[in-house]
Structure 1
Amino acid sequence: MTGHLRRPKTVANISGLEGVVWFSEVDLRIAAGPRTFARGRDLVSSVIEVRPTDDGVRAVVDGTAPYEVFLGPASPGFFGECPCPSGDFCQHCVAVGLAVLGSTPVDSGAALPQITALHRRLDAVLWARTPVDHAGSLDYAGAAGEFLDTVAALIDDGHAAEARPLARRAVERIAESLVTMEDTAGVVTQACQRALTLYARACAAARPNGPKLAAWLFQLELNSPGWPTVTLSEFADALGDAGLAAYRTLVEEAWTARADGDIRQALTLLVIRERLAKLDGAPVEAPLPEDLPSPAAFLGVSSADHTPWLAEFLVHAYLEGGRASDALELRRSQLTTHPTRDQYAKLRETALGLGRWAELRPWAVDVLRSAPDDLVGALIDDGDPESAWESAEKYGCSSGAWLEIARIRVRQHPADVLPGYRGLIHECLQRTGRGVYREAVSLLLELREASEKSGRLGEFEEFVAVVRERHRRRSALLDEFDKAGLGLGAAGEAASAVS
């Protein structure tokens, strides 16, 4: 291929791409990581010759050399191939993925970004089609925040009518994605709530049809798994008298027609009715109806399959009705039954709101000692990395949990993590395959950085020499080492000579 390559056409003008997209920008961010994703975003304009194939999509990226990239579906998600030195899922794969999605960076300071492009970008940024872990949720929240900044800028610049459908769709996409997302830090839930607040602002400035808005809000609440929280007062002006009347009618019709035994629906409607009462000026301390079950009664009739969902509704109902003790009792029961990082985070959120966290935290930490991985993660979320590291060392944990705390520990105590990294690398290389070798290289690069920070680079070079010698028959592994610059340093050559 010559150096005289055609400049890229926009993906919208490239024929044959309809129906080939099986991934979103969230998937790209998670697969690549934030640094590689940022580099790939800068290369979108260098993508040329995008073409679908029977098993994926191929394109050429005009970088320091023309790289032919392939993206294909996998289960779950997708995979990428690129011949560049960075490895398979590199910045060139990101650039091609973004080009296929038609996703270009949005300038929130522009007078009026192209709304069609923003709608296309919305699904790419906010639709997580595969499960997202804790680290991925942080990345997702960052991307959602950037998009919502653009929506907010539209409203501020007097374009509420254009921003309104974007904000509404953002609420729907984030709420859908949250169902399978590990949002222990609560950052994605916060983004969902922010999107709803922006939608309320847009509706106040550019009035929609009141009854239609009422129907959407009612369905959002009725089918919600606990997020976002609808504050009717934020929508009161946009709803108007006709919208509020329609909303009340929908609530009462649903209450009358509710199915016997459907605790989830009953609890949801009770919460909605309480919010309506407050909007109408009823005393804030007015209790919810007496048929709201106690925590013990609720746990006695709820099956294990749907208790987590229903518990969210009931906690909100207790808080709405001023029943703080019942809310905390249910949260404590959920953590005892399911000692996980997520349940710990939910208890913390509720207890903090009630000023009871300092009292309950020691008990909650003790409960999680039976689940070391969750304990380490919970302490990280608490902003207590010292205790998280001590727990990882004392109780043991999986390699994933150890890496999460080690990447924090290395900032102030790099020498502490060196033995653990060496152990993980040896453990990793008990397996074979290119993916495993790249995982080992990634760990080695982190070990090298920690060794440099602790002034023990010579030990690192000796370790690399030992690993290379132990696995000298794995040519693919040594090839990955060489690509990453993990050859024999001076110390390593000396160690090799001695061996």
Structure 2
Amino acid sequence: MTRKAVGFGEDDLRALAGARSFERGLGYLDAVSGLEVGEGSVTAVVHGTEAYEVELTLGGDDGPSGWCDCPYGQEGNFCKHCVAVGLTVLRRAKTIPRQQDAARARASGLEAWLTALSRDELLALVREQIAESRPLRRRLELRAAAARSDLGTVRDRILTLIDPRPFARYGYVEYADAPAYAQQVAEAADALRTLTADGRAAQAVGPAEEALRVLGETYEEIDDSDGVVGEAAAAVAEAHLEACRVARPDPERLAEWLARMVLDDSNDVTDLDPLDYADVLGQSGLARMRQTAAEALRRRPSDWTARYLMERLVKAEGDVDALVALHAQDLDPSGATHLCIAEELESAGRADEALAWAERGLRECAAQTHIDGRLVDHVCARYAKAGRADDVVAVRRDRFRVERSLDAYRQLRGAARSAACWEAERVAALAALREDARPDRGGRYGGPVLIDVLLDDGDLDAAWREAVGRADDRQWERLADLSRETRPAEALAVYRRLVDRSKEPTGDRAYERVARLLLAARDCHRALGTEDAFAVYLAGLRTELNRRRKLMSILDRYGL
């Protein structure tokens, strides 16, 4: 009944906030004041270190969501204050539908009242609001200037709306102020579109470019965690593109401006794609942009923005050889660039050349511990398709020799099984891993890969032999879990040892692990017929750790 009335329940709040914030929110129920119910949301003030404003949606298809101007909430989190407001709403769930009806009635009444006002009464009301609200006056001045084609005022008003300084109280726009600033940027985009619609597209191009320049220079000083400023800036970029398509500005000048925007790697507020302007730029504009990108690459060969621009232009022209040559100038040691070249050639129907480039990547990156796995997969897939199973095994074997990991072992195992040669390959692979696991080799964090692969193979007898003096706690726990039914006594000894090591850490995650280990130990005692011994052990452990109330509650929850 409660959930149906407001669109969410306690479980939804706990899932959004997490256990810690939900528990803390319970302590703020008496700090909620000024609860105001709208048609689909509620607002309130929660008094904590300061008075924080909270807005909470009342559910819907996407479930509830909340916003709070406390520091934690400004990072996009569903904080304890949101929890407190949500719980307060649930307490008052029976009255919420009536309050929503009242909110709808107020909105309807306002609409009816405004509709009934005469022209002079409406003008008086607007003038009154303009006198009291500077932001509203600026927005209406912009609309008026656009309507009468006062281009100087339009430009000034657009730049005023784009200016973030009024929102930058401490030198930058904080998360809480970003939505208001984004609204102004969106209004600037609307004004630019209005100019284009009114036949003034040529006059909209310049202000749009200046607005995008300002946004690019200041975006790093804006906390746009929710992306609202970015969305509004994208609307300005769309307005610029629309104006260019109508006005048809000088293509070479436009090309130079676009190139500057793309090549400025600090300007990431809009993801301008020069190819969106291809119909406006024409051949001369595209050629000028390619020339600009080439000049930038000559000056700074490692400039990724210039390389990205050049790649986009060359790819759009369909010149595969030029694209291959461009990629070949800066081959990544991971093999990622070789793969990119191979994929481009394959898409162009040049499969033999594509495979040659991929194989070259494997040779040139053979000594790298971490090669791009996609390149290895690419070559192996082509070999497998051609029936070259032995070559697939050779590639996987070479990678395993360099990268002694569980994943590399699994890849070798799969390839060797397909080629019916796994037994011989496994002997050699395990020998190499045993050599790595020698105590005098040192230098490895965690337990040896040897134990991981034995566990992955299901070779538990060998894993038990190799684990002594070598395995880490993670591997011991995995080994015990897999052996609980067949070796309950050995597994029990592992669980007891791990419980002893887990006594010191605190926190929900640590306590959950203790409970999991105890449940496993209880299963072992049951298999051994020594459940009374487990009861004595558990009682002693609870006595030892009884001051940790959260641990005790977690153990109670698991029936321990």
Question: Could you state the TM-score of these two structures normalised by the residue count of structure 2?
Answer: 0.38
After TM superposition, the score normalised by the length of structure 1 is 0.42
Q: Which has the higher helix share?
A: 2
Q: Which has the higher contact order (CA 8 A, sep 6+)?
A: 1
Greater Rg, structure 1 or structure 2?
A: 2
